[in-house]
Every structure is written in C-alpha cells, then in structure tokens.
Amino acid sequence: MKVATLASALTAAFMEGSPTVLPVFQKIGVTQCVGEVVLLCDPSATAPSYIVETNSSLASKVEVQSGTLVVSSSGTLSGDIYYRTTITLIKGQLTELLSGSAASVLSGDLSACLDPNTFKVASAASGSVSLGGLAQTSKVEAAATGSGTLVLGNITSATELSLATSGSGSLGLTTPTAPALEDTTISCTGSGSIYAVSGSKSNQAKLGGSGSVVFAGNGGVVGETLDVITAGSGSFTGCAAPVNDVTATIRGSGGISVAPQNKLTATILGSGTVTYLTFPSPPVQPQTQEIATCPAYPTRPVLTEIPTTPATMQIPGNYQCRSWNGGVATGGAPSFFGIVFVGLFLYFN
C-alpha cells in the first residue's frame, strides 16, 4: 500500500534556505520501523520525488515538517510493520549522504545524480549502505564510523579517494577504481575493516586500532608510492597491490604485507612484522623477511545493487519493530535487513 507521494512537499522543503537539507526520518507514533531506503536517479527529472510504502493501515498522515518526513499513526502500532522509502534524485543533486541509523540503504547507478566535484558518504550507526554506480565525480570520501557496513562500487572517474573507519563497522570497495586515480588515503582507527580494490599513484594508510586493511590493488595499475603506518594490533595486507616504492612503519603489534617493485623502507619500533612479496633492493633495517606468498585475503564484501526501479514492495513475513522512547531503541529484533529505525540525511550544497 502506498501511503503518499511527497513530490510537492519535498520540493517545497528543498526551497527553504540554502544549502537545503533533506533528513529522512520516519516517526510512526511511538514505534519506528523501516525496511529499507532505496535511492534512484532520474537525470531527466526537474524535481526530486519521494514515495513511502507500508503494510500498515494505521499510518494515517504523511507530511514534511522543516525538511523532515513525519509519518503519524491513527492508533497504537504493533505487530509486523514494514516500510520502504524510495527517493528519486535529479541530475547533479547528491553531494553528501549520511546514514545515521539501522536502516538498509540501497541504490542503483547514481552516477548522473552525483555532484561532479565531490561526493561524501558515511555510515554512522548499525545500518548497511550499499551504493552501486558512483562514476562522474572527481573526489569520493567514504567513512564507516559505527557498526554498520558501507559498500561502494564503480568509482571510475575519481582522482582522489578517502576511506576511513573509526568504529567496529566495515567499508568495502568491490570494483576497480579509476585508472586515473592520483591519491588514496586510508584511515583505520577502530576495530572495523577496510577492503579496497583500489590503486593510485600516491597511497597512504594509517592503522591505529585492532582493525584490518586489505589493499587489493587495481588490476594492472602499479602505484608510485605507498606509505603505511600501524600503531595498534591491526594488520595491513597489500600484496596484490604492486607499488614501486613502499615505506612501512610498525609501532605496535600489527603486521604489514606489501609488494614493492623497486624499494622497501621498513622501520619496526614495535613487535609487528613486515613481509613482502618481492624485494629487489635491501631494506633500511634488517627486520624484514622475504616470503613467497602473502597472508590469505578475507572474503570480498558483497555489493547489493538495485538493477531496476522497484515496482512492488515485498513484505517480509517475520518483520519486527522496536519501540522508541526518545533516546534508545528497545525491545523486538531486527529482520533480515537488520533494521530498527532510520535517520537518513541528504545534504545538498
């Protein structure tokens, strides 16, 4: 059942001030429950559109208040309640995406609807974010700061790439990045993990916690420099990413595995070990050792992409909601999508 199409209200919300903000926050009485948020791109559209679908007949009112979507109920909501929120963006509109809840956010190819200069995406809670096409933007900044999963694909036009985790969540790039990538910066300061099918001319990675980084390379691209620093127990595995000159510094117990093509400079100040796949020139310090194989790579993250516009909503038979008391979600259990409540913010410059 479609509750409402909010194209006119959404357009009005966009016009209130500059820059405009569209927080997507569904409030259903005292109960919150969202199945998934679907992002679509229509470069020919003149205004964004918004559709909310639900299997509950109690959602009697849907409106935008100060840019916030509010869904009110005509009674006490209980039982299996499921929502799908579909947002259709227009050309060049999306500059920043923040998922601040346990929602599942999915997209198809968003390339034409991205800002051509910079796109920022972050997962700040337990929800999963899976974005398909991210071409046609020159700079991508991705961060997983909570316990959720952030997976990106098809970053084929960027020249700058920034990847960061600071919580227990994971961040993954599943397809090769742009051959013209100039600079990649990686930061892993929590217990989460980063898996990047990427390779650029200049590469920097800093690990400060127990999390791990897999730098899986970018096909036949050979980087010019790679500077890796580990200060905790986390490990950096980059044997599938050939780089001419590698600088590896260990200050903790974490290990570094790399594939230098020309020179390796290794400094070990902690208990960790530097290993390498090839080694044509002597290291600065003798604590490194040559090995024939690299550590096993973990399973590559799965990118869940929306291939076409969803025509109908599939309602999970065992979907459960949780009650909301204003600060903490309590009771119940998440469904297959792992969703409890949603706070999705889209920022537009």
**What mean pLDDT do residues 117-144 have?**
84
According to the model, what pLDDT value does residue 231 have? 93
According to the model, what pLDDT value does residue 72 have? 54
Place of tokens 């020159």: 138
Distance CA 155, CA 147 (A): 23
Distance CA 113, CA 42 (A): 7
The full length of the chain comes to 349
Count the Cβ atoms, other than its own, within 10 Å of residue 193: 23
The domain locations on the chain are 1-90, 92-304
pLDDT band at 146 (very low <50, low <70, confident <90, very high): confident
69: exposed, middle or buried (C-beta count within 10 Å: 0-12, 13-18, 19+)?
buried
Rounded to the nearest integer, the mean pLDDT of the chain is 68
Distance CA 115, CA 137 (A): 6
**What mean pLDDT do residues 286-307 have?**
54
Tell me the sheet residues that pair with 91.
Answer: none
92-304: what fold? Pectate Lyase C-like (2.160.20)
Q: Where are the beta strands (DSSP E) in 255-343?
A: 256-258, 260-268, 274-276, 289-290, 322-324, 329-330
Q: Is the pLDDT of residue 101 over 50?
A: yes
Instruction: Give me 156's structure tokens.
Output: 């084929």
**pTM for the predicted model, two decimal places:** 0.72
Residue pair 348/94 in contact (Cβ under 8 Å)? The answer is yes
Highest mean pLDDT among 115-119, 287-291, 299-303, 325-329: 115-119
Highest mean pLDDT among 197-201, 312-316, 317-321: 197-201
Instruction: Give me 192's structure tokens.
Output: 């989460």
**Residue 201: left if φ>0, alpha if ψ -120 to 50, beta else—which one?**
alpha
Instruction: Give me 173's structure tokens.
Output: 């790039």
**What mean pLDDT do residues 36-65 have?**
68
Place of tokens 């913010």: 345
Alpha helices in the chain (DSSP H): 7-14
